[in-house]
Chains A and B, each alone.
Chain A
Amino acid sequence: MTDDATPEERLAALLALLPPAPQAWVGAAAQLPAARAQIDTIVERAEHDVAYRARLVADLEQALAAEGIEPTPGLVRELTRRLSAE
């Protein structure tokens, strides 16, 4: 922007700094509360079921799919974080 930009031009430039985030990212974040309940259930079961936990650690996406749970990127990411933190 030049030094002689009008206030309107300056506001327009500021607006342009905030384009929309990718819709898929926003959608995944918006689904977080629903996913969190599912994640809590899975993590709790993994804490008590060694074989289940081993399946999750070995191949998380396949283990979820085998249980009829859709392994969405957000679910996989959060579960990976939770399981590795324990």
Chain B
Amino acid sequence: MALADLSDGELVRRMRGGDEAAWGAFVERYSRYVYAIATRAYRLREHDAEDVFQEVFARTHAHLGSLRNDDAVKPWIGQLTRRLCVDRHRSSVREEPEGKFDLAAADDELERLDEALAVRDALATLSPDCREVLDRFFCRDESYRQIGDALGIPNGTIASRISRCLAGLRATYEGSKPAPLPSGDHDD
């Protein structure tokens, strides 16, 4: 089984055993989540976001031996990132009191990022072709032309691939949740 397909718990157990490839897969799995919490939810400046990003993974690596539940590493890393971001904002407020940040709004955004991560988990179960085309279009903001050039497929087929893959993602995601995803139900 590929490292990317392992559960969090199995990945953590391998990391604890010194498996550097497992660590690389773990960083790859959570890098977007940590990055989004720091830059999107808590809107840290790039330098601060990078510090938080590296600190999260440094602390995670340092605490591998003391995690209470290997399978619950996702909420652990989410809360660690949140705490480090909040600390950054508190330091900033001490330096620039007028720059107070709305932490409650950030916590709301964090809930959306948790849902986004669940969608990415569903994405990971799709075919490599679908993963690639959806990631390039929605996450990397690539044009049809860029995607066509990168994947060697005609530009004219990309819209239909995206549509077909999104339908597959919906089926997978809804199948992984207890209730279906109703149209128009969102928290914007």
Contact = CB atoms under 8 A, between A and B. Distances in A.
A18 B117 CA distance: 8
Interface stretch (B4-12, B82-90, B108-116): B108-116
B27 A29 contact: yes
B104 interface: no
Describe B's contact surface by its main secondary structure: helix
Interface string A66-86: 000000001001100100000
Interface stretch (B68-76, B95-103, B133-141, B146-154): B133-141
A19 B186 contact: no
Contact of A32 (B36, B58, B173): B58
A3 to B, nearest CB: 5
A17 to B, nearest CB: 4
Given A11-B119, A18-B116, A4 B27 contact: no
Contact of B31 (A14, A25, A34): A25
Interface residues of A, number: 32
B95 to A, nearest CB: 19
B139 A29 contact: no
Interface in A14-64: 14-22, 25-26, 28-30, 32-34, 36
B107 interface: no
B72 to A, nearest CB: 20
A78 to B, nearest CB: 6
Given A6-B183, A14-B119, A15-B134, A21 B167 contact: no
Nearest to A7: B181
A71 to B, nearest CB: 15
A33 B18 contact: yes
A27 B154 CA distance: 32
B23 to A, nearest CB: 5
B188 A30 contact: no
Contact of A1 (B24, B28, B188): B188
Closest 5 A/B residue pairs (Cβ): A21-B35, A29-B57, A15-B138, A17-B116, A18-B32
24 contacts: A7-B170, A7-B181, A8-B169, A11-B166, A11-B170, A11-B173, A12-B166, A15-B134, A15-B139, A17-B36, A17-B112, A18-B32, A19-B139, A19-B141, A20-B35, A20-B139, A21-B53, A25-B31, A30-B24, A30-B27, A33-B20, A33-B61, A36-B61, A78-B54
